[in-house]
């Protein structure tokens, strides 16, 4: 069983998927699995992912596009790790991202960890963003200026306790709420 399940939802982003997957495979810790959930893509995502030979990469294809919340939930349901991490298909991680977050989880004896991130603006100008919510629940309830994608790692028990993504609850900024457990 992998320690960390990395869930990557994707819809018609074949061009960015290799960078996302490679950034996970290059992590300084390797005790992980990658779950790619294709939310009904109509590009060549499936043919490309079938060329990936790493046994840690698993691929699931949904018949129709129903949004990233549904894809993330499918990924959660297929996960085997003690911890769950989310990576948006157009993002990439630095090589020590997971190792640093796992150290924080262990030292602080906490169930979830967010990290700052670097946004590349037009012209590839870097903007470092660090935001630390008062607590995890405040972040999960839209008080956080970024979606719960790439900066978040949390225990599977916490995901189950707090609830999975609810695709019916989309706020005006395009973020999803995790308050209500969704049956798949």
The model's pTM: 0.80
Look at residue 64 and tell me if it is in a domain.
yes
What is the pLDDT at residue 178? 40
What is the pLDDT at residue 116? 66
What is the pLDDT at residue 36? 97
What is the pairing mode between strands 117-120 and 126-129?
Answer: antiparallel
Given a cut of 90, whether residue 27 has pLDDT beyond it is yes
Q: How far apart are CA 173 and CA 51, in angstroms?
A: 35
What is the total count of domains within the chain? Answer: 1
What is the pairing mode between strands 176-177 and 126-129?
Answer: unpaired
pLDDT digits (tens, 9 = 90+) for 117-158: 666 566 665 545 444 444 554 444 344 444 456 778 889 998
Look at residue 182 and tell me if it is in a domain.
no
Look at residue 28 and tell me if it is in a domain.
yes
Q: How far apart are CA 62 and CA 160, in angstroms?
A: 22
| Domain assignment of residue 128, given as a range | 4-177
Name the strands in the sheet holding 83-86, side by side, starting at the edge strand that comes first in the sequence. 57-61, 32-38, 4-10, 83-86, 152-155, 112-114
pLDDT digits (tens, 9 = 90+) for 82-118: 999 999 998 889 899 999 999 988 988 888 877 766 6
The domain that holds 163 is classified in CATH as: 3.90.550.10
Look at residue 151 and tell me if it is in a domain.
yes
Tokens of 5: 């399940």
Q: How far apart are CA 99 and CA 7, in angstroms?
A: 17
pLDDT digits (tens, 9 = 90+) for 165-183: 666 544 433 444 444 323 2
CA 12 to chain centre: 17
Look at residue 112 and tell me if it is in a domain.
yes
Look at residue 183 and tell me if it is in a domain.
no
The closest alpha carbon to 167, from 67, 60, 79, 65, belongs to 67
């Amino acid at each position: 069983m992998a320690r960390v399940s990395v869930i990557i939802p994707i819809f018609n982003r074949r061009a960015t998927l290799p960078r996302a997957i490679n950034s996970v495979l290059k992590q300084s810790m390797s005790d992980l699995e990658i779950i790619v959930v294709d939310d009904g893509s109509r590009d060549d995502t499936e043919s490309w992912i079938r060329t990936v030979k790493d046994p840690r990469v698993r691929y699931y294809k949904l018949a129709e596009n129903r949004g990233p919340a549904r894809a993330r939930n499918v990924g959660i349901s297929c996960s085997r790790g003690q911890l769950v991490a989310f990576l948006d298909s157009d993002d990439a991680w630095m090589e020590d991202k997971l190792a640093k977050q796992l150290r924080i989880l262990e030292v602080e004896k906490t169930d979830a960890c967010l990290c700052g991130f670097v946004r590349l603006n037009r012209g590839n100008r870097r903007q470092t963003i660090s935001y630390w919510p008062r607590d995890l629940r405040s972040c999960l309830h839209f008080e956080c200026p970024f979606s719960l994608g790439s900066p978040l790692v949390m225990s599977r028990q916490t995901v189950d306790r707090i609830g999975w993504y609810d695709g019916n609850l989309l706020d005006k900024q395009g973020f999803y709420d995790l308050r209500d457990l969704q049956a798949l």
